[in-house]
Structure formats: structure tokens, C-alpha cells
Structure 1
Amino acid sequence: MSSNDKNNPSAPPAVSERRSFLKKAAIGATTAVVAAPFIGNAQAAKTTTWKVQSTWDAGTVGYTLFEEWSNNMKEASGGELAIKPFPAKSVAADNNALFDAVRNGVLQGMNPFTLYWSGKIPASVFLSSYPAGPDQPHQWDTMFYALGMLEKTRAIYEKFGLFYVGPIHHDANIIHSKQPVNSLDDLKGMKIRLPGGMVAEVFQQFGVSTVSLPGSDIFPALEKGTIDAADYVGPAVNWDLGFGQVTKHILFGPPGVMSVYQPVDLMDLTVNARAWKKLSPKMQKTVEDQVKTYSMHHYLTIQKRNIEALQKFKDSGSVVSRMTQADMEAFRRAAIPVWYKWAKKDAAATEIFKIHLDYMMNDIVGYVTPEDVKGHSL
């Protein structure tokens, strides 16, 4: 640690220290969850155990919260169900392998970012945050739990041998860059890590070269300079991943908006359909209720950590810039045709997007007017 770091308690650890920390965290997390539990009585012997892998990296606040929730499931279920949590890449090496591992029963469940399945399930781009779409967590809860989106989602996943238990609120996503970005024009020519699908397509309209990378690969790509900037999640997890060591600029949306391209990034709990059907109806209801409770706890805890982490970024030299309202409107104009393109990919995507569009055009929300979508149809 340099003398400057010693004088700055908020400075991030050295790169080697960060790597050592994450490596030890991954080993510790995996070791902790694979140890066989001691069965002390007949009731415990009847416990069903699910292996569930998250896409959160070990050592991040996201994975710590998921691990705590998983470890509490046995008590919450009265001993009927236990969950062994695993961090990213510990059983399934990548997202495609994770999807297949749950379908095939190698894992009983997963805690992914729902958007990851846009290549397999086009409708999934509307099951999580998308460019210039609904930007408040309660709006997503309304669509899932009051406007029928949960039931339609489950019908889609059933075709893959999966059961979508429910959404888990995470955060808004932000961009960390090596150079200042003060407007959409500044993005032109930059190579940026972004999720694929709709998000990448909108940014490409502004001259961005997009790259898709898992969270754990972002730090080395920034460090080596193979990318100029990276979107990932919010300040709390991005601080844990060391982004402040390799970038000095953070891009937010206009005041009051952290992100215009993924303002309410959602995760979920999805399980193998056969494993789900083996649970009693009472236990199925318990798991659904636990996911709802966990979603709120997960979201609120990360919001608190975001406030703390953003100050650490600033103390270590990072500078926050914001898009203007004019940039936001330009981004929205670019996004709307892409909404319709993805909504037309299959019947399921059309159904899900119709829920969004009706909701956003309703005066209760008022995000979209007939003029905004003139010339577009489903």
C-alpha cells in the first residue's frame, strides 16, 4: 500500500490484494456450501436440499446477501427445504452452462440476471430493465404481481422445463470509464462492455462498439485496456470488484436517474420444474413468499451500500458526470424502435411487451404518448 493509500482509508486495495481477496472469498464460499450438513434427527433426514448458483461473484455484497438468504431457508421452511448457495462459475462455468445445468437438474435452481437469456428467450428483455423503459421498482412489482406478467412469465419458462419463482430487485446499472463522458456524443468510438440484446443495440446507434463480458471478466479487461468503459451494476458491487482502481469516471443519468439504459435491473429465482413440483403446495407458497421478502431486503441493503460505496469512489479520485435531459430524450427516441423490434421476435415477447406498453401509456404512468410510438405497431 502506498503512503497515499495509508492516508486515505477509502482508497481501494492494490490490484494484487483485490485478486487475493476475491480468490479467497470464492474458495471460502464454495467450501462453506459444499460441506455435507449433519443430520441429527429423522425430521432433518427428510429435508430436501437444492443446489442453487448465483451469478454474483463471491466476495461481493450481492453474493453475501444471497448466501445469507439461502442459509436461512431451512429454518424458514421448518426443515422441509434447504438451499446450498454457490457463487458465479463454481458449478456451471458460464451463463449458458448455468441455464442448462438447471434444466438438466445438475443444479436445482439459479439466481441470474434475467436479461441474460435474451438469446434463448426473447421475452426476457422485457422481464428486466431495458433502455428508457419503466424506471421505478414498484412499477415492475405492479406488472409482475398485479397485471399478470408473473403468470405469463411462468408459462414461457415452463416450455424450457423451468419454473420462474419470482423477480428479485437489484439496482440500476452504471458505466465506469477511463475517459470523461459528459454526453452521448462522447460515447462515439468507445469500446464498452454492455449486456447484449436491446441494450447493446441502442448504444450502437450512438457509435459505441459493444462487448459482452461476465462480471468477473470486466476488471482485467479494463486493466489491460481492451475496453474503454464498462457497464455493470451499482456502486456497491462495482467497488467490491475493484473498478475504482482501473477507471476514474462514472456516468449516471440526469438528476434523480442513475441509469437510462437499465434503471431497474432485475434478478430472479428460477428452479428446475421437476424439483419445484416435488415440493408440497404449502412449501411452494413459502418459497414464493421468501423470494418476495428477499427481493425487498436485497434491494434496500444494496441501496444503503451504494451510498457508502459512491463516497469511496469519490474519495479515491473518481468523478461522477450526468447525462442531460436532452441526452435522455435522444436516448429514448433511439430506444423505442428497438422495443418494437424485440417485441416482434416471437409471440411471447409481444405479449409481455404489450403489458409494458399499456402500462406506460396509461395516464397513471404517462411515460409514452401516441406520438412517441407513431408509425410503430405490434
Structure 2
Amino acid sequence: MHVYRTTALCAALAFGTATVAGAQSVTVRIQNHQSPESTSGRLIADFVENVETMSGGDIDVEMFYSASVVKSAETFDAAASGIIDCDMTNGSYQTGKNPAYQFVADTMGGYDTPLQFQSWIEYGGGREEINGLYNTNGMTFVGAHIGGQESLVSTSPIAGPDDLKNWKFRSPPGMESEIFASLGASPVVMDFTEIFTALETGIIDGADASWLSNNVGSGLYDIAKHTTFPGFHSMSSDHLACRTDFWEGLTDAQRAIITSAEKNLGYELMLATVVENGEALVALPEEGVTIYDWSQEDRAAFRQAAFGAWDEWAQKTPETAEIVQSHRDFIERIGLDAPASN
């Protein structure tokens, strides 16, 4: 398997090998919701190899793919309760705990690129905002990985907002369901791992699953021959979050190694997505897939609906209002077209 390494990662490797040698070995049990064949899944395998190599074998990672231990939405609680140690799924699954979790995972129309979202985490106070939520549930946020804007997949044409009318599609829980419902669609919340079968059996007509190359890796275009690209509606970020007592029980060096490997995963995922999305864009039409590039007017209609949802969700809890304002402040700070607060 090819293991990606950056200069920072190589430096961490030297640091980790020198400092962790002789430390007590530890096993880290992590569940993700990606298939091993997807872009994210392959890079998660590199994450595992990087952690184990940097630690000189003192950290053993047991990685569970495709939500094989518990359902995706249950992973966070499974880690908090000790069934596993860390969650590598998506914060939006936890909106039932607090609506603020929506804005940990996907701002829906807020940022244009994954770099901007990662910058909010590292330089816009995002890490502190996220841990303000996670710590109350016994979890600690380690880092995020996000490929880019997601592409809708469908078994029927999806050329613009009019095609959303009565369109029955898989949606993640949270704000997205409300936005699409306001545009006439019929969102169905289901586990990430159930999408392929639901499309195959006709339970749903389409799905918001992931970006173009990840959808290819999941086999969705074997069934759904219509897709949007470039993506515009969602840029959902998966996370690495660990049970706080487990995380604090690691040595400083072990935490540094895992954090460095997670940052490298985020970096490599952005790069790989650019390349593999481009390759998919060339290959998919030859496989009978129709690609729809929504007009600026149609994109604006969706974004307006999304910004309206920001205001509604900001009123749900004080924590949601705080994290929404954090995003608004950072978006204005870096010169993006920020959603105005009513």
C-alpha cells in the first residue's frame, strides 16, 4: 500500500520514533463509516500505517470500516461508553444531542473549499468551539478530514431545483433534510452504509453521500446514472474524536503522533480528491453517467435556502448560536460572502 508522507509527517516520524520508544504499548479501536475501497477508506488505511510506523509499533490501531461494530450514528456514543476508543465518522450524526453539532460537520453553503473549513478549525477558534460540545459528552476532538464539495447521485435527472420536487433521497440527519424539504424534495435519513442497497432496491431515488470520487469508490454510479458536479450543496467533514479519559491516558508523544497522522489524512484527502474527482469526471460519461453543472442562479436559490436555515438553527440552543456566529465571524474575516444574520 502506498503511504503518503509530507514534510511535517516525516518530522513527526522522527520525533515519534525517538520519544515513544520504550513507552507502554496501547491499542486504539476506531470505527469509521467509509468503505475500504473509497478514497477516504484507502487513506484511512494509510493513517493506520502511519500511526503504527511513527510509534515504532507502540500504538496498534484496530480500524473498523463501514460501521461494522455499531451503526454510524451510534459510533460517537460507542466511543464515549468504551465499546471502542475513537469515532471517525461525522459530527452531524449527533444533532439530536445538540443542533450545534450540525455546524461541526457541515455549514451547508458557508465555505467554498475544504481549506477554508480547516482554517476555521485551526485559526478561527473552531477547535475550541468543537471541544466545547464534545467534552460535555466525554469526548475530545482530535482533527477533521474533508475532501471537498459533495455530488448528489440520482437514478433520475437532477439538472436543477425543479428536479428536486418529490425526489426521494438519502439525507444525513440535521439541517440538510430541512433545506431540501423546503425545495420540495423528500429526504430520508438513513445510515451511510445503507445507501447502496436502498438505491439498488428503489427505496430511494438518489442520495447525498459524498464527493464524486468517493461515490465512485462506493459503487453508487453502478446504479445511479445521474450526478451533480461541481458540488455546491454540502461539504461534510468527518472527524477523529476519542473518549477523553482514553485520550488523556496516552503519552504526549502518542497524542502527537495520532494528531499528526490525522492532519496528514486531512491534507492527503484534499489532494487525492482533486485528482480522483478529475479522473472520475472524465471516466463517468463513458460509463453512461450524466453530469449536471447547476447554473449560478440555481446554486443561488439553494444557498439562499441554506442561509435561511442558519438563522433558524441559531435559535435552537445557545451553543448553536455561538458556533454559527463563530463561522460568520471567520467567513467575514477571510473575505467570503457571509450569510447575513437576521
The normalised TM-score by structure 1 is 0.80
Aligned equivalents of 1:141, 1:368: Cα separation in 2: 17
Q: State the 1:277 CA deviation.
A: 0.8
Do structure 1's residue 63 and structure 2's residue 41 form an aligned pair?
Answer: yes
Of 280, 300, 322, 2:251 maps to 280
Of 204, 212, 232, 2:189 maps to 212
Aligned residue for 1:367?
A: 337
Of 236, 248, 262, 2:213 maps to 236
Aligned residue for 1:270?
A: 241
Aligned residue for 2:83?
A: 106
Aligned residue for 1:261?
A: 233
> CA offsets, 1:306-327, max 9 Å, x none?
2222333211111111211111
Do structure 1's residue 135 and structure 2's residue 112 form an aligned pair?
Answer: yes
Per the alignment, in what secondary structure is the counterpart of residue 237 of structure 2? Answer: strand
Letter in 2 for 1:48: V
Aligned residue for 2:9?
A: none
* Unmatched tracts of structure 2, length 5 or more: 1-20
Aligned equivalents of 1:235, 1:96: Cα separation in 2: 23
In 1, are the aligned partners of 2:51 and 2:257 still within 8 Å (CA)? Answer: no
CA RMSD of aligned residues (A): 1.9
In 1, are the aligned partners of 2:179 and 2:309 still within 8 Å (CA)? Answer: yes
Q: State the 1:158 CA deviation.
A: 0.7
Do structure 1's residue 358 and structure 2's residue 336 form an aligned pair?
Answer: no
Of 173, 178, 201, 1:201 maps to 178
In 2, are the aligned partners of 1:170 and 1:267 still within 8 Å (CA)? Answer: no
Letter in 1 for 2:105: S
Aligned equivalents of 1:189, 1:319: Cα separation in 2: 20
Aligned equivalents of 2:85, 2:186: Cα separation in 1: 37
Residues 246 and 118 of structure 1, relative CA distance in 2, 3 Å threshold: same
Per the alignment, in what secondary structure is the counterpart of residue 193 of structure 1? Answer: strand
> CA offsets, 1:261-293, max 9 Å, x none?
21x321111011111011122332332222212
Q: State the 1:48 CA deviation.
A: 0.7
Pick the structure with greater CA Rg: 1
Aligned residue for 1:85?
A: 63
Aligned residue for 1:292?
A: 263
Letter in 2 for 1:59: E
Deviation beyond 6 Å, 4+ runs, structure 1: none
The normalised TM-score by structure 2 is 0.88
In 2, are the aligned partners of 1:123 and 1:352 still within 8 Å (CA)? Answer: yes
Of 189, 205, 208, 2:166 maps to 189
Q: Aligned residues, how many?
A: 322
Aligned residue for 1:248?
A: 225
In 2, are the aligned partners of 1:193 and 1:227 still within 8 Å (CA)? Answer: yes
